[in-house]
Structure 1
């Protein structure tokens, strides 16, 4: 990050964030997972980090939140690292659905009954079954260790209240998982697979953790601060492509036009995004729009992308 860019972000970001915060009243905090409904609707925070570890933040960036669907990006990468592309994409497709992230429609209507992509719930449940490990505990341990390494934070852990809330209220996800089992897509015990899935969705982070994880993707799998290669470049390419085409649910096309960056959102209000070769960015804003994305967070990213000409299109 050049000094002029850092100075400009430091000067402008707090004001821009407060302008975007005005939009939180138009959104709604996720309620279908009861524990998530406890989040403050007015929260909005952002953390931006560059290759030297310089960073700028504003707003409620220290508020912890669970990764939810943002975790799907990294479990996909881990499954690819464990088994390779052919094995993973035998079980899950590569296309956007045009349906809600928890829809079952195309599993029943389209042959051969595999999920359309790894970032919808059915796809992420399938990917969770493909993470290497002899049992659900080992799979979850490996996922958490991988996330800790990417975030450079050994203190990352689970929010047990959110995990229990997801597990107890996850009836639709159970339906998806049992349908996948019926189709032969999932081979393992359904409840064990769901335990892994609910666990990685409930990993608790801050905006700074997301920014550091995004920075690794921005530099094609290498942590630019430590110089360590953490992910093969090819798998980062795959992940960033899915983030661009599917990462913002049914608003992915609109986000690509208005922001033009690879991104993944979660229903806790988090957004992980990146400027390739420059920055990792983490956002939190629990008030969601009707597509399930942080309303104020998207507004802020649109402003930043346009002002700094970050779109890669």
Structure 2
């Protein structure tokens, strides 16, 4: 016979194995007494399960990874603010204090190659470490991944991508393209489907929209309900010559290469010309530098192929002539 539900809260049996683990965390100073008692008694967090302790060591490792990125000072400051808030709100819940729900959907403004996708990946892993996301992975999509070719196809494709992203971050690059086709375009259906999913899966999904600033601001103006759903908006500035040279050095170093002093000056001159050159498309920043590095490595390989037996230092060195032949793009 099934017991009748009296509406009163029933006492939950204590899992002795879990209790032993919680006591161990308390004795080692990772959690306080209030938190320990809550965990043993099975008090749930808002996400639906007893929240594991935040490993601040892992958070600091990810923040160091963020700090290692060239430039992006304002981006780094905002990211630290976000995680300080997430961490403190978590502590307030553990101490039975009011903690307002934090909406973490974001918009990234910036040209190509300014670090938007890289920062999004770090954010996803940080949210996982904070217990906000189950998996902490990043699903990167664009218009073609969301918009279908016939009625009903768009909703299906969009839901499939949302399903892949549950437990992580859905990163939509060039999001403004979803609204470019006018009122009858299927992109509008993708937007509606996305907005619904953000509400239905608000504890399982964080959405980041990215793109050029002017186009993204136009996109937000096409739907009055969108701006309030993305309260965090971060601007990714273009890199200057010094920062681009630093990116080139880091890119080369990860592959066991380095530049001569003359090569660095040649690269700097090349970048100065590139930044001055008028173009139809926005400058691609780090992507431009990575392409330069790839071509320089290929030219070095052709140059060394003519030598009988290149020594170790020669195999590592990029010379000024290895940058030659690059035209501005």
TM over 0.5: no
What is the TM-score of this pair, normalised by structure 2? Answer: 0.28
Bigger-Rg structure (1/2): 2
What is the TM-score of this pair, normalised by structure 1? Answer: 0.29
